[in-house]
């Protein structure tokens, strides 16, 4: 059952006045009498009139709307980025529209089309894993609309961006495992078309090289890094004749999936296999053992992104130079990676403290 949207012409017809009079009354124009304004406002309420914000935006040249495209809304990391964006924009006249791509290129393009039709004043995006062609993002720039990429960025695409140093985060995580005495470290890697997974894999391999350990390609397992993929890789590892002594996962979800399988198979974490994840999702401190992970400072990322947008509005120069903000990651050490050679009682005591 369709519902017709009430227009100022409908209100005008009901009150037997002109549409221009209704329009002026709704805008509290001084030339319209108080009695007419009262009648118009009362009828507008009765008829559930809602102003056409897109039409108003076209007239003003601004909508006070910002679109945020995220791959997955159920990830604490992306939810925290959005909170950071809103922390900054709540103090302005801007409202946020959130879109979810589900890491689908088709859905991402649909998100962008909808946001452009809504006349948004800016778009913040973490692009989909499937995205390799950025022409739909270039279309945003060609329209003169501020575009800022966060978390994931493409070096060949000249655009404002806010990211963390994924290479450094992975390097710290891998070196921490090496310091714990690990020598045969598996890496759960993501699609190499996505910059963050390339950089995390590079951080892993460079940490091995720096510490005199060989880079064994058979220990690099690639997947979409979701929970089920982590379980699948955990099963694979459990069946190896030569077991690894650690796993560094580019995702907390894949790490948790593997840990569940290790537990079912009687493989102890961290005594048999130490595990480190990436992102510091909310569950990482709650599972047993608690997961060592890399904190991406997601809320701060959102705040930097929003402030970069506000700064871009002040920059009226035609030769704008894109800015890249790189945040430093933090390794959060918990029980899952503490494999260092204590005696068993000391090890258990240390793990209990961290859990």
Residues 283 and 212 both lie in one domain: yes
68, two tokens: 């945020």
Residues 206 and 340 both lie in one domain: yes
Residue 190, domain member (yes or no): yes
Residue 185, domain member (yes or no): yes
Residues 342 and 312 both lie in one domain: no
145-173: per-residue pLDDT in tens? Answer: 999 999 998 777 888 999 999 999 999 99
182, two tokens: 């690990």
| Alpha carbons within 13 A on the beta-carbon side of 21 | 18
Kindly report the CATH number assigned to the domain that includes residue 36.
1.10.260.40
Q: Give the model's confidence band at 81: pLDDT under 50 very low, under 70 low, under 90 confident, else very high.
A: very high
Helix, strand or coil for residue 295? strand
Residues 160 and 280 both lie in one domain: no
**What domain range is 348 assigned to?**
166-296+332-354
Q: How many CB atoms lie within 10 A of CB 321?
A: 8
Residue 1, domain member (yes or no): no
34-72: per-residue pLDDT in tens? Answer: 999 999 899 988 888 887 665 665 555 577 899 999 999
Residues 216 and 104 both lie in one domain: no
Residues 121 and 225 both lie in one domain: no
Residues 236 and 271 both lie in one domain: yes
Residue 193, domain member (yes or no): yes
The closest of 150, 147, 169 to 78, measured between CA atoms, is: 150
Residues 338 and 317 both lie in one domain: no
Residue 3, domain member (yes or no): no
Kindly report the CATH number assigned to the domain that includes residue 125.
3.40.50.2300
pLDDT tops 60 at residue 3: no
Residue 271, domain member (yes or no): yes
The closest of 329, 316, 326 to 160, measured between CA atoms, is: 326
Task: Name the β-bridge partners of 150.
Answer: 162
Residues 154 and 285 both lie in one domain: no
Residues 26 and 134 both lie in one domain: no
Residues 285 and 271 both lie in one domain: yes
289 preceded by a cis bond (ω within 30 of 0): yes
250-276: per-residue pLDDT in tens? Answer: 999 999 999 999 999 999 999 999 999
Residues 151 and 235 both lie in one domain: no
Residue 181, domain member (yes or no): yes
């Amino acid at each position: 059952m369709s519902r017709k949207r009430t227009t100022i012409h409908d209100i005008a017809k009901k009150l037997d006045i002109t549409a221009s009079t209704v329009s002026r009354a709704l805008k509290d124009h001084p030339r319209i009498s108080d009695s007419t304004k009262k009648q118009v406002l009362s009828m507008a309420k009765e008829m559930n009139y809602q102003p056409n914000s897109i039409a108003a935006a076209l007239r003003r040249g601004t909508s006070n709307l910002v679109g945020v495209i995220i791959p997955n809304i159920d990830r604490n990391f992306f939810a925290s980025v959005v909170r950071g964006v809103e922390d900054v924009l709540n103090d302005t006249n801007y409202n946020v529209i959130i879109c979810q791509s589900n890491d689908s290129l088709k859905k991402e393009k649909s998100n962008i089309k909808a946001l452009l039709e809504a006349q948004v004043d800016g778009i913040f995006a973490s692009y989909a894993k499937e995205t390799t062609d950025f022409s739909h993002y270039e279309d945003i720039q060609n329209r003169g609309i501020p575009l800022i990429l966060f978390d994931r960025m493409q070096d060949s695409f000249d655009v404002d961006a806010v990211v963390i140093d994924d290479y450094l985060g992975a390097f710290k995580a891998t070196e921490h495992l090496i310091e714990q005495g690990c020598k045969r470290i598996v890496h759960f890697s993501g699609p190499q078309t996505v910059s963050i997974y390339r950089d995390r894999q590079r951080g892993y391999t460079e940490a091995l090289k720096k510490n005199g350990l060989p880079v064994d390609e058979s220990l690099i397992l690639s997947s979409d890094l979701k929970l089920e993929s982590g379980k699948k890789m955990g099963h694979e590892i459990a069946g190896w004749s030569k077991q690894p002594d650690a796993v560094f996962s580019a995702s907390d979800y894949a790490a948790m999936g593997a840990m569940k399988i290790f537990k079912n198979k009687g493989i102890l974490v961290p005594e048999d296999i130490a595990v480190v994840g990436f992102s510091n999702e909310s569950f990482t401190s709650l599972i047993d053992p608690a997961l060592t992970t890399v904190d991406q400072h997601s809320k701060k990322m959102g705040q930097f992104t929003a402030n970069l947008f506000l700064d871009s509005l002040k920059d009226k120069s035609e030769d704008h130079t894109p800015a890249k903000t790189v945040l430093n990651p933090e390794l959060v050490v918990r029980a899952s990676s503490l494999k260092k050679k204590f005696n068993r009682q000391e090890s258990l005591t240390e793990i209990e403290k961290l859990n």
